[in-house]
Chains A and B, each alone.
Chain A
Amino acid sequence: MNELAEAIPYLGRHHPKAARALVLGLILLAPVLAASVGNTWVRVLDAALLYVMLALGLNLVVGFAGLLDLGYIAFYAVGAYTWAFLASPHIGVHLPFWAVLPLGAAFAALAGVLLGFPVLRLRGDYLAIVTLGFGEIVRIFMGNLSVTNGPQGINMLDSLSLFGWEISRGLQVTENFKINALVLFYYAFLLFVVGSVVVIRRLQFSRIGRGWAAIRDDELAAKAIGINTRNMKLLAFAMGATFGGVSGGLFGSFQGFVSPESFTLLESIAVLTMVVFGGMGNLGGVIVGAIALSLLPEVLRHIALPLQQALFGKVLLDPEVLRMLLLSLAMIFMMLLRPAGLLPANARYARAEYLHDKQEAA
């Protein structure tokens, strides 16, 4: 949050309080502003928050522990399908969200450990390819098994509900004032995102987080100073997967249906691009990256299509093409021009108060 505020040009450096207020205001009022333009934009914001959660989770694995995971979307899929199995008419079970989400997270974490175990010895690029293979295997199975309904997917998923009140029905405040379900989803997701940020922040500066950083920077040295690299790496996969699983469950509740089409390699790559674009290892950067890269294609969709219509009289590049173009170019140019991302991670890796002590001692 503070990092986000600092990132605002000029204001962040000279008026930090105003910047913080601005960020907070934007975060809280975003759906209201979006709703005034149109409900599609609220939906876009909801999706953006899901991407933020995914990017935060992937950042744990890639940014903190330095393990390039190209099959991350598989954990999202595990979470979403868990929701689909346990909260839909598919097998007729309707468990409440506080039971399904932790279960989804647990299954995803289990999948993370299952993936992590065999690939422990692999590094860098090999790891990337094997995780990619894992993601594809999961997708192939979901698209062909009869339990998952194959390519058709599963419909009519329950939405988030609390004490029998379903969020998708909206909230009738007074007789002629009703809060839109999409807006409610935004705040629900926001809660989850804030929760994740708090947890991840605590993790980052804990013994575990520092262990991950050590492994990322030099695995051999990390081993030599007594870090249990095997357990740490497994933990990184499991933790990252947990966040993927939770956001998968939320996705299921939000979308109302799941099908293998939502969990393609392109989505894994998209999340990775968000992490890379924003700044690997920096929470603020990752959040900015996720928001920017999930909003931009939608903005492009609304600007580029009419523009093309006006200029050429037909649509030459459809939105999906524009999105892919944007993602791939972002990835290439970011790596060439600014490899640490928009908001690079802080090289210092300790609690602020600890740094302070050390400075005094020096």
Chain B
Amino acid sequence: MENLLQQIVNGLVVGSVYALVALGYTMVYGILGLINFAHGDVLMVGALVALQVATLLHKFWPGLHPLLILAISLGVAIPVCMLLGYVMERTAYRRLRNAPRLAPLITAIGVSFLLQTVAMIIWGRNYHSFPPLFPTIPLEPFPGVFITPVQVTILVASATLMVALIMLVNRTPLGRAMRATAENHRVASLMGVDTNKIISTTFILGSGLAAVAGVMHASNYGVAHYSMGFLPGLKAFTAAVLGGIGNLGGAMVGGIVLGLVETIGAGYIEQLSFGLLNSSYQDIFAFVILGIVLIFRPTGLLGERVSDRA
């Protein structure tokens, strides 16, 4: 029982990171109908930039308070990623907005690999470990169930960000413009919405979230690496589809559900498959779920949009 509770805690932590990344996917998809394949790599850039800053600060200013180090490194990583998102949209995706449907996706794959290669050039192939900022002694809220301070921070921060994003989209003029653009570009621009600006803003917001998620992901596992963005990106996409792509609430639900299924599944896969598979097959869950959802319920759990794009 403790084991199951522990898995649930871990699943929630992993899932909230997925949810943050999934939000970026779903926002862009909702507005452009584009799967931004490079989104996972934005996460990677965020993590590596933050790690670089944190390491430097740690080295040259050892007495600095961990929270301050975290704040500064986030303060660098988020704008860098936002800029990256903006540049990506501006240089690669904007010209392809009316191109045949395979073109933007292929470009996005290219951008993804380009980012990985550049990161490999800058940071090399090795795993970089995050400097230990927080005390690593885990808390024990229930007997036998452990949660580290980092994980608590991840849960609180992602919940806050998600609420903030929902408020932004539903309560502000910018949010209304975003929803209008998602509904119909042309009509939105007739109503006086600068759709180009809104699309850029969407990319910037999504990339900012990805940067935060990257820092969380890296500090949760303690390492960062040039190809670390691939799997979380793919899983977050799965989460977005699971929840119903284009739907913000769906992305959050999808992320949490996927995180839970994955960690609990990995914990019990050996029993489930009679010892045939073990936890090194953990990554299969996301793909299998993705396949099942797309085949049986392509609109996702909370989906409203029709996913059958011509």
Query: Hey, which bits of chain A sit against chain B, CB under 8 A?
Result: 62, 66, 68, 70, 118-119, 121-126, 128-130, 132-134, 136-137, 140-141, 144, 219-220, 265-266, 269, 272-273, 276, 316-317, 321, 324-325, 327-332, 335-336, 339
Q: Which residue of B lies closest to A280 (CB)?
A: B102
Q: What are the residues of chain A within 8 A of B286 when measuring CB–CB?
A: 133
The 16 sampled A-B contact pairs (Cβ below 8 Å) are A122-B294, A123-B310, A124-B101, A124-B105, A125-B105, A125-B309, A130-B294, A140-B281, A269-B113, A321-B117, A325-B114, A327-B113, A329-B114, A331-B113, A332-B111, A339-B99
Q: What are the residues of chain B within 8 A of A331 when measuring CB–CB?
A: 106-107, 109-110, 113
Which of A123, A273, A316, A332 contacts B309 (CB under 8 A)?
A: A123
Known: A128-B105, A332-B111. 6 other contacts (CB 8 A): A126-B294, A136-B287, A137-B284, A276-B106, A325-B114, A328-B114
A125 touches B95 (CB 8 A): no
* Interface residue total, chain B, C-beta cutoff 8 A: 45
Query: Hey, which bits of chain B sit against chain A, CB under 8 A?
Result: 34-35, 92, 95-96, 99-107, 109-114, 116-117, 120-121, 230, 234, 237, 241, 278, 280-281, 283-284, 286-288, 290-291, 294-295, 298, 307-310
Q: What are the residues of chain B within 8 A of A332 when measuring CB–CB?
A: 92, 107, 110-111, 114
A321 touches B120 (CB 8 A): yes
| Pairs A-B, 9 closest by C-beta atoms | A331-B110, A133-B287, A328-B113, A328-B114, A332-B110, A324-B117, A335-B107, A125-B35, A328-B110
B96 touches A335 (CB 8 A): yes
Question: How near does chain A come to B230, taking the closest CB pair, in angstroms?
Answer: 8
Q: Which residue of B lies closest to A133 (CB)?
A: B287
What is the CA–CA distance of A41 and B307 in the complex, to the nearest angstrom? 48
B295 touches A118 (CB 8 A): yes
Q: What are the residues of chain A within 8 A of B288 when measuring CB–CB?
A: 137
Q: Which residue of A lies closest to B283 (CB)?
A: A140
Question: How near does chain B come to A286, taking the closest CB pair, in angstroms?
Answer: 15
Q: What are the residues of chain A within 8 A of B298 when measuring CB–CB?
A: 121-122, 126
Q: Which residue of B lies closest to A322 (CB)?
A: B117
Q: Which residue of B lies closest to A134 (CB)?
A: B287
Q: What are the residues of chain A within 8 A of B105 when measuring CB–CB?
A: 68, 124-125, 128
